[in-house]
Structure 1
Amino acid sequence: MTIEAFERTLELAVLLREEMERRLAADGLTPARAQVLRELGGRGPLQQRELAATLEVSARNITGLVDGLAATGFVTREPHPDDRRATLVTLTARGTAAVRAMADGRAEAAAALFAGLAPQRLAAYTADLDVLLGNLRKA
């Protein structure tokens, strides 16, 4: 029974990832670029080094991500108001709309995924997931 649950969990993870990538691709985004946008949406303008540290990627990686987002109109690089040597990565109107659309998309996907599941079963499922996540974090 354990292996069956594990296999279904893997299948769910794959299907969720594919759905997320499909939705992001429709907006011209990758998962990595979307992560940058979500971070900026939650925290506001940040320096690239702050983004790199938060997302645990290299400076070179974040430069490529920000370059791509800037070229497609999701972010701009603005002068830092207190440090003229620094720049801030800032969401544009398109970037802000994309962050909002991603949040709406997550809510829609969650509603579709859990449709028909009684509130008590959803609560139990969430509690079980907390146990599973705890097990993985300890490993």
Structure 2
Amino acid sequence: MTIETFDRMLELSALLEAEIERQLAAGGLTRSRAQVLRRLAEEGPMQQRELARVFDVSARNITGLVDGLAATGFVTREPHPDDRRATLVTLTAQGVTAARTIEEGRRELAETMFAGVPEGERHAYRGVLDTLLGNLRTR
């Protein structure tokens, strides 16, 4: 039974990934760029080095992401108000709209996925997921 459950989890993971990628591509985004937009929407403007630290990527990697987001109109680089040597990555109006759309898509996908699942089963499922994630994180 364990391997059958595992196979279903893999199938679920693949289906979720495909749907998320489809939604993001429709908005002209990749998963990495969407993560940057979501973080900026949650925390406000940030320096690139802060973004690199948050996502645990190199400065070069985050520069590429920000360059792409700036070129497509989702963010701008603005002067830092307290450090004239630094710049802040800031969402544009288009970026704010995209971040909202991403969040709405996440909520709609979750609602679709859990439609018809009673609250008690959702709670139990979350408990199982927490255990599984804990098992893998300590590995």
SS of the equivalent of 1:88 reads strand
Name the residue aligned to 1:125: 125
The one-letter code matched in structure 1 to 2:29 is: L
Displaced runs of 4 or more, over 2 A: none
SS of the equivalent of 1:85 reads coil
Alpha-carbon distance in structure 2 between the residues aligned to 1:119 and 1:50? 38
Count how many residue pairs are aligned between Structure 1 and Structure 2. 139
For 1:82-97, what aligned pairs fall within 5 Å after superposition?
A: 82-97=82-97
Per-residue deviation, 1:21: 0.4
SS of the equivalent of 1:33 reads helix
Name the residue aligned to 2:59: 59
The one-letter code matched in structure 2 to 1:106 is: R
Q: Does 1:28 align with 2:22?
A: no
Per-residue deviation, 1:81: 0.3
Alpha-carbon distance in structure 1 between the residues aligned to 2:48 and 2:107? 29
TM-score between both structures, scaled by the size of structure 2: 0.98
Alpha-carbon distance in structure 2 between the residues aligned to 1:58 and 1:14? 27
Give me the CA root mean square deviation.
0.6
Alpha-carbon distance in structure 1 between the residues aligned to 2:137 and 2:71? 37
Name the residue aligned to 1:69: 69
Alpha-carbon distance in structure 1 between the residues aligned to 2:4 and 2:116? 23
CA deviations 1:83-103 (Å, max 9, x no partner) are: 000000000001011111111
Alpha-carbon distance in structure 2 between the residues aligned to 1:39 and 1:120? 31
TM-score between both structures, scaled by the size of structure 1: 0.98
Q: Percent identity?
A: 66
